[in-house]
Amino acid sequence: MDSDRFDDLSRKLARPRSRREALRLFGAAVAGLVVGKPADAAPRSDKPKKCYGGGSLCTNAKQCCSGICTNRQCAPEIPPECTVGTDCPGADTECQVRTCTAGICGTQNLVAGTGCSSGLCDGNGQCVECLTGADCASGVCENNACTPSCLNDPLLGEACAVGTGACLRSGVYVCTADGLGVVCDAVAGAPSAEICNGIDDDCDGEVDEGVICPPLPNATTACAGGNCVLQTCNPGYADCDGIEISGCETNINSDPRNCGGCGVQCPSGPNSIAICTQGNCGLICSSSGYKNCNGNPNDGCECPPTGECRIGACCITSGAPAHPTIPCCSGFTIPFTNTCA
């Protein structure tokens, strides 16, 4: 019988509640003394034991050498795993070290924010790039990694433009939807059919290309400087009135007022009408019988009906025909007197 149980029985025997109880307790004490101590048991030491080994009765863990009391019985002692952390298996990392507590191996994570090769310890034993946006140049930390951010982009808020020609639109740079960069907030306009106006209407980088201008009389047209203009006149025609919409209105091959070119007036004299033929001035006699013997349009048809043309001159005879071989007004008077009209 162990000492604790013996002491308990002694106290109860000192003050039994009845004679029957005193006899029962006494019998139990005697039986315990006989059974609890084998014949070959070692003599009891007078020196108190500090703790009890595995299998001993206990009321608290302090009585057990193992420090464990379960169901009033001490657990067996377990040899210590370690005395210092380096005795434990594995290896220390830059954010986690091995520990030894009460002979038991364990690990301890370094405090979050402790510097490590990739950045900072996260407090869970891992070395990460960042913990907050303040740890990143971009100001953004996602999943412990620095990510680009539009907030530090030098273009943010600056003027920008998209499209070309008539489709060109202006705006400013704003953050993209994912916040990783910037984009111009302008939206390009819609292209339209090209016309002659000095603008890239179809937004292809070319101005007024392929435009067909409306035709003008006796002329070819073209787009120049954003306007449809008369380009060239057809052969034999000219733009003499300076009015573009009328085109090349003048036939310089037949117009005596513009013969061969604008403003070229064909001359005419008495008894004649000026004409233009293939761009050359001429005249026709307008009075019956008159002739242009000298070919000079300025004096018109100078030879009257009574005269005859002789070698570039008009000869008027005195009652007789002009001499067929003597030039008129040559000074010869024999046999006839010739006068020069």
Q: Where are the domains of the chain?
A: 1-43, 45-78, 85-149, 219-251, 290-340
**Helix runs in the chain, H state only:** 3-14, 19-36
- Joined together, the tokens standing for residue 218 give 């006796």
pLDDT score at 107? 94
Integer CA distances (angstroms), 291 to 72, 190, 304, 319, in order = 165, 75, 7, 20
Outline where DSSP puts E strands in 194-271: 219-224, 227-233, 237-238, 250-251
End-to-end CA distance of the chain: 187
pLDDT score at 54? 83
Residue (of 36, 44, 47) closest to 9 by Cα position? 36
- Joined together, the tokens standing for residue 253 give 């091959």
- Provide Rg for the chain, Cα atoms: 67
pLDDT score at 221? 96
pLDDT score at 194? 96
Question: Could you tell me which residues come within 8 angstroms of residue 151 by beta carbon, excluding any fewer than 6 positions away?
Answer: 138, 139, 140, 175, 179
- Write out the chain's pLDDT in tens, 341 residues: 555 555 565 555 555 566 566 556 656 555 554 444 443 444 444 455 688 888 889 999 889 888 889 899 998 887 888 989 899 999 999 999 999 998 889 999 999 999 999 999 999 999 999 999 899 887 888 899 988 888 888 899 999 999 999 999 999 999 998 888 899 999 999 999 999 999 999 999 999 999 999 999 999 999 999 999 999 999 999 999 999 999 999 999 999 999 999 999 999 889 999 999 999 999 999 888 898 888 888 888 988 887 778 777 787 765 555 555 555 554 443 344 444 44
Q: How far apart are CA 288 and CA 313, in angstroms?
A: 18
pLDDT score at 315? 77
Residue pair 314/303 in contact by the 8 Å Cβ criterion? yes
Number of CB atoms found within 10 A of residue 273's CB: 14
Q: How far apart are CA 232 and CA 222, in angstroms?
A: 9
Instruction: State the number of CA atoms in the 13 A half-sphere of 188 facing the CB.
Output: 14
pLDDT score at 19? 58
